[in-house]
Amino acid sequence: MVAICRAMNATGINQGTAGNVSVRNGAGFLITPSSLPYDTMEPGDIVQMYTDGSYDGARRPSSEWRFHRDIQAARPDIDAIVHCHSVYATTLAVHHKEIPSFHYMTGIFGGTNIRCARYATFGTQGLSDAALEALDGRLGCLLGQHGQISLGKTLAQALANAVELETLARLYVQALTLGEPPILDDEEMARVIQQMKNMSYGQAPDLDGVNDTARKRA
């Protein structure tokens, strides 16, 4: 977790002590502590939390522990959560703009868009409720006037999704300088998402079986 936190800042998707990270663990989850710089954080600083809001350890958990707890409870398909204040994702979030399917890679987040959650005060149950709504069926969302959340089965995957979400946000902001970009329709996005699922299962990304596919030489 410490390495992931430091990588989060090294990639430029987070700054200072902003953001937080958690991973499912036993009867609860491990989460980063509150207000501790990542470059001085040690494994012993990580906080074990439980679903009732109690925790073990000398340090207080991140103020955003509620949405980590609630996402872990609602999403058995994921085990790791990365929250950060990446610049372009937050730029869109301050305008409450979702990221539509202007680029096929939005499909890796599970649908035709990356939603923006309504605004709620940081650290509150209201923010957790808003995040859960925006993450329904998705692996990432924007938080209104706040930042982004990305999910994964592993910490590495959650971080990779956070970096990808920021990349898409940057592309979208830049595309908007030329006007509203064309949007891929739902039918095409369904095809894209199925292609991605095929590839994740180790299958060739060819839905119809009529295109050339990569294959071992006989």
Indicate the DSSP class of residue 129: H
The DSSP code sequence of 154-213 is SHHHHHHHHHHHHHHHHHHHHHHTTSPPP---HHHHHHHHHHHHHHHTT--S-SSS-S--
> Which residue of the set 64, 133, 166, 180 is catalytic?
64
The DSSP result for 5-57, as a single string, is: HHHHHHTTS--TT--EEEEEETTEEEEPBTT--TTT--GGG-EEEETTS-EES
64 catalytic? Reply is yes
Residues with a catalytic annotation lie at 64
